[in-house]
Chains A and B, each alone.
Chain A
Amino acid sequence: MLIFLTMIDADEDREKFISIYNNYRKLMFYIAKSILHNDQDAEDVVQEAFYKVAENISKISDPDCTKTKNFVVIIVERKALDILKCRKKTDAEYIDEVYHEGESGLDYEQILEGVSSLARCIRKLPANYREVIILKYYFGYNLKEISELLGLTLNYARQIDQRAKKRLREICKEEGYDI
């Protein structure tokens, strides 16, 4: 059953949304395009991502902070990867490889510089696993919230959470990091 509980806080939420739109639309486009390699597709994904941000606007307290930046990046990344997965019927790990080591423009080594061993291992997880770990442990969302945010069933979100931690332990073992 679809149930929505809405708080009519329209003016404040609208202002928050406008700030996010102004602050991050180019970055969101950049991320979407680095995955989809097409301007029109990237715009569609950014638009979809903004609708998702609007649905979850109450979760955002400050539009101009690192946490919000990460939040919109995760949303747009997930939307773009979902489309790519649908189109190319490829698996998440391949997509992750394309995104992070291909033409995304991100400096993979720079990202890893100065972080702990466990953080390095998290960074090596496939995108869908890493997103759930970050949403759960950095943002503090429960699996119900994560499933709604990423468009997953609750059960599937639970499975990803469990698989992500299992895979993380394996990566840590491979990297010689004792947990």
Chain B
Amino acid sequence: MTFEEHLKVAAGEVAEHMAATLPDEATIDVEFSDSFLRSMQEFIDNWDVRKKKQTYLRRHPVVRFVLIAAAIILLVFGMLMAVSPEVRAAVTGWLRQELEDSVMYKFNGPSEIESDNKNAPRFEMTWIPEGYQLYDIDKTDYSTYVYYLMGDKEITFSYTFGSESLDMYILLEDLTREQVNINGMEGEILVSDKNEESSIVIWKDNEQNILFYVDGNEEKDTLIKIAESVKLAKE
């Protein structure tokens, strides 16, 4: 076994033994303060506020009459969507919405083109400034993150396949924004006004429902050049 393999086993032993020797919850006598219990209860109660907001229009009786009108509009709209790719692209896929303190990219279906990351296409940057070294690749169900490092500087390349359960938020603090076009795909670059903060170029592939971004402590033109170099990886 290598040292790293020994470490895995030993770290497990330490963790198991630490857990085993901690006191049982039932034996710990604690009287939490009212303010603590109240704060935690509020935190738990507000857990799904965002979800409630999303379902509000569907459930609220006051808007019933609006829904009847909406049904007629949707019928016409559905016909338009069927014949017009432009209309379809405007209301499905990754939609951008500006919130008070952030930009939200929300995937809005259609669900039949949802994809997971297991058999999904892989993308790669074919250009990156000299000196950066591949540091890590991380995959979740829908997203892939590729990290490059050079000293204190980091570049993250990410792509996320659309899923109706996904939202992406980018906090808008001290930054300037500009529309960009990355290889024919619409996007934007958010440049931080602070030197120590990274900037991000984010763009979406409406055909495959993929949201890409490149985040790093580099100049605007460099980040765009990196973004433009993103290609389908050769297997």
Contacts and interface: CB of A to CB of B under 8 A. Distances in A.
The prevalent SS among residues of B at the interface is: mixed
A136 B10 CA distance: 12
Contacts of A26: 25, 28, 30
Interface string A77-118: 000000000000000000000000000011100111111101
Contacts of B10: 115-116, 118-119, 121-122, 137
Interface magnitude class on chain B: 35 or more
Given A110-B21, A137-B8, A155-B152, A13 B165 contact: no
A29 B32 contact: yes
Interface string B4-35: 10111111111111111111010010101100
B23 A27 contact: yes
Contacts of B160: 5
B60 to A, nearest CB: 19
A142 B146 CA distance: 12
The prevalent SS among residues of A at the interface is: helix
A24 B145 CA distance: 32
Interface residues of A, number: 66
A50 to B, nearest CB: 7
Contacts of A110: 21
Interface of B: 3-4, 6-23, 25, 28, 30, 32-33, 36, 39-40, 43-44, 47-48, 50-51, 54, 136, 138, 143, 145, 147, 149, 152, 154, 160, 163, 165-171, 173, 175, 190, 192, 197-200, 213, 215
